Chains A and B, each alone.
Chain A
Amino acid sequence: MSVILDLLGRSGISPTQAFMLALFLPFLIPFFYFLYRAPRSASRPRLRQIPAYASLKKILARAAETGQQVHVSVGTASIAGTKTAETMAGLYTLEFLADRSANSDIPPLVTVTDPTTMPAVADQLRRAYERQGYPDEYRLDYTRFIAPPVNGNATPYAAGVMDVLNHEPIAANVMVGAFGDEFLLMAETAAQREIFQVSGASDLNVLPFVQLTATAPLLGEEIFAAGAYLLDRVGHYTSLVAQDIFRIALALLILVVVLLRALGLV
C-alpha cells in the first residue's frame, strides 16, 4: 500500500484524487462499451415508466387547448459550474418542449436567473424553431431574464417567477434543474393556483419540496434521464445502461465490504 501511495505521490496524485480516479475510471468501461455496441444492436433497452415524462407530453396539448403558455425553468445554477449537469437536464427538458411548441402557436415562457444559462436557453429555443422549419417565428423575448443570483441566492428570481405564475396565463409549470430553498416559493405559488406542475431536482434538501408540490415529480437521478425518455437519443440510452450496471456493481461492493467488516476480516 505504501508503495502505491509513494508512486501516486510522485506522479502528483493525492490519495483523495486517487480515490476519485478509482471510482471514475471503472465507469468508463460500461459507458464506452454500450456506446460502441449501440449501433450494432437492433433493440433499445426497455425503460421503466416515469409518470412525469409521460405527463410532459400531455401538457403541451393542454397548453394548446387553453391557449396559455407553459412556464419553464432550468434551475438557478450556472451552465459552467458544479451544477452544470442539473442545468443540462433542464435544457434537455426544454429542448423537448421547445421542439413541440415550435409546431404550435403557443411558445414556452422560459425564465432565467443565471446570466450564463441565458444564452444556452435562448439558443435551445432558436434551434428548436429552426429544426421545425419556422426560424422566423422565434422571438428573443421567449426567454425572460428575471434577476441574477445575489451571493448564490436566487431569491429575486423566485420573486419574479412568483409574479409570473400569479399574474400571467400559465397552463403548466415545468421546473427541472438545480434549485435551492427558493424552489418552494415558486412551486407552492403554482400549486395554490392549481397549475399542473412537473418539477425535478437533485438536491436532497429540495426533494421534499418537489414531492410536496409537484403534480408529477422527478426525484434525484430521474432528471438525468430526460435525454433518453424525451429526446430518444442513443448516447443517453447507453449512458443510462452504464449507470445501472455501475450502480449494481457499487451496491454489491458495499454489501461485500459490510459483510467482510461484520466478519472482522477488514
Chain B
Amino acid sequence: MEQPRVNVGVLLRRQLIPVAIAIGVGVVVLLGQFISNITLDNIVGVLISWGAIVGAFALLLGLANLVLFHTKRIVKRDREMPFSILILASALVVFLLALPSGGTGATSQWVMRYVYQPLEASFLSLLVFFIGAAVYRALRVRSWEMALFAISAVIVLIGSAPFMSVVSPFFPALRDWVVNVPALAGGRGILLGVALGIMATGLRLLTGIDRPYSE
C-alpha cells in the first residue's frame, strides 16, 4: 500500500516553525519572570515590544472588519442603516480630529474628556439599575444557592448602612464576619483553583500541547 506523502515544506511552515517560535519565546519570557538578569530583561522587553507592534496591526484588522460590516449594512439598506452611518461618520470625524496631533494630542484629549468620558460614565451608571433588576430576579428563583446569595447580600447591605452601628453593633459585626470568614475563604478557594487553571493552560501552550497558532 502506498504511504501518504508528507509535504515537509508545509509541515515546517504550518506546524514546526510556529510551534518552535512559540515555545522559544514562551520559555524566554517565563524565565524573565523568575530570574533578574539585565540581558534577559532586555530580550524580554524586545519580545514584548514586538508583541505590541503586532497588536497595533491587529487594530487595523479590527477597523477594517468594522468598516466592512457597516458598509455592507448601508449598501443592503438594512433596518439599522442609520446607526451604521452614524458609527462610520463618528469614527471618521474622530480620526480626522486626532490625525494632526496624534492619540495623545490636545484634540484627542478633548474628545476623550468631553465626549467619551461623560458617555461612558452615564452608560456605567446603568449598572445600578441592572444590579437591582438582577437581584430582584434572583430573589424569585427558589434554589438554595440563591437563598444563600440573597441572605448574604442583605446582611452585608444592612451591616454597611452607617446608622446600623448606632442602632446595634450586631449587624456590623455580622457583616464583618460574613465578609472576612465565609466570603474570604470561598474567594481564596476560587482564586487557588483559578491560579492552577491558569498554570495548566500556560503549560499546555508552552509545551505545544495546545497550538492555537498553527494548523
User: Which residues of chain A come closer than 8 Å to B59, judged between CB atoms?
Assistant: 115, 148
Rounded to whole angstroms, the CA-CA distance of A209 and B187 in the bound complex is 15
Contact, CB under 8 Å: A209 / B134: yes
Contact, CB under 8 Å: B65 / A85: no
Rounded to whole angstroms, the CA-CA distance of A28 and B196 in the bound complex is 11
Rounded to whole angstroms, the CA-CA distance of A212 and B138 in the bound complex is 6
B72-128 CB contacts (< 8 Å) to partner A: 72, 80, 83, 112, 116, 120, 123-124, 126-127
Interface string of A192-212 (1 = CB under 8 A from B): 100000000010100111011
Is B167 at the interface (CB under 8 A from chain A)?
no
User: Which residues of chain A come closer than 8 Å to B135, judged between CB atoms?
Assistant: 212
The stretch among B2-10, B157-165, B200-208 that forms the contact with chain A is: B200-208
* Chain B residue with the shortest CB-CB distance to A123: B212
Interface string of A136-149 (1 = CB under 8 A from B): 00001101111110
Contact, CB under 8 Å: B209 / A235: yes
B176 to chain A, nearest CB (A): 18
Do A141 and B72 form a contact, CB below 8 Å, given A219-B190, A247-B193?
A: yes
Do A145 and B62 form a contact, CB below 8 Å, given A17-B35, A85-B202, A115-B55?
A: yes
Contact, CB under 8 Å: B200 / A144: no
Question: Chain A binding site: helix, strand, loop or mixed by DSSP?
Answer: helix
Is B68 at the interface (CB under 8 A from chain A)?
yes
Contact, CB under 8 Å: B149 / A211: yes
User: Which residues of chain B come closer than 8 Å to A240, judged between CB atoms?
Assistant: 200
Rounded to whole angstroms, the CA-CA distance of A54 and B133 in the bound complex is 28
Contact, CB under 8 Å: B190 / A204: yes
- Most A CB contacts (10 A, CB to CB) among B130, B193, B202 go to B130
Is B51 at the interface (CB under 8 A from chain A)?
yes
A7-32 CB contacts (< 8 Å) to partner B: 11-14, 17, 20-21, 24, 27-28, 31
Q: CB within 8 A of A181: which of B33, B83, B124, B204? A: B124
B120 to chain A, nearest CB (A): 5
The stretch among A44-52, A100-108, A220-228 that forms the contact with chain B is: A220-228
Rounded to whole angstroms, the CA-CA distance of A225 and B116 in the bound complex is 38
Contact, CB under 8 Å: A144 / B126: no
User: Which residues of chain B come closer than 8 Å to A84, judged between CB atoms?
Assistant: 201-202, 205
Q: CB within 8 A of B68: which of A118, A141, A158, A191? A: A141
The interface size bin for chain A is: 35 or more
B14-72 CB contacts (< 8 Å) to partner A: 33-37, 51, 54-55, 58-59, 61-63, 65-66, 68-69, 72
A202-252 CB contacts (< 8 Å) to partner B: 202, 204, 207-209, 211-213, 219-221, 223-225, 227, 235-236, 239-240, 242-243, 246-247, 250
Contact, CB under 8 Å: A144 / B69: yes
Q: CB within 8 A of B36: which of A14, A140, A224? A: A14
User: Which residues of chain A come closer than 8 Å to B63, judged between CB atoms?
Assistant: 145
B135 to chain A, nearest CB (A): 7
User: Which residues of chain A come closer than 8 Å to B194, judged between CB atoms?
Assistant: 202, 220-221, 224
Rounded to whole angstroms, the CA-CA distance of A221 and B209 in the bound complex is 19
Contact, CB under 8 Å: B197 / A202: yes
Is A80 at the interface (CB under 8 A from chain B)?
yes
B49 to chain A, nearest CB (A): 12
Contact, CB under 8 Å: A224 / B123: no
Contact, CB under 8 Å: B61 / A20: no
Is B151 at the interface (CB under 8 A from chain A)?
no
Rounded to whole angstroms, the CA-CA distance of A20 and B33 in the bound complex is 9
Contact, CB under 8 Å: A184 / B62: no
A33 to chain B, nearest CB (A): 13
Contact, CB under 8 Å: A17 / B127: no
Contact, CB under 8 Å: A118 / B62: yes
Q: Which residues on B are within 8 Å of A, measured CB to CB?
A: 33-37, 51, 54-55, 58-59, 61-63, 65-66, 68-69, 72, 80, 83, 112, 116, 120, 123-124, 126-127, 130-131, 133-135, 137-138, 145, 149, 187, 190-194, 196-205, 209-210, 212, 215
The 3 closest A-B pairs by CB, nearest first: A224-B197, A221-B193, A235-B209
Could you jot down 6 A-B contacts, CB within 8 Å? Answer: A11-B35, A28-B203, A124-B212, A158-B123, A235-B204, A240-B200
Given A35-B209, A185-B127, A220-B193, 8 other A-B residues pairs in contact with their CB atoms under 8 A: A12-B35, A12-B37, A24-B34, A116-B55, A145-B65, A148-B59, A213-B134, A224-B197
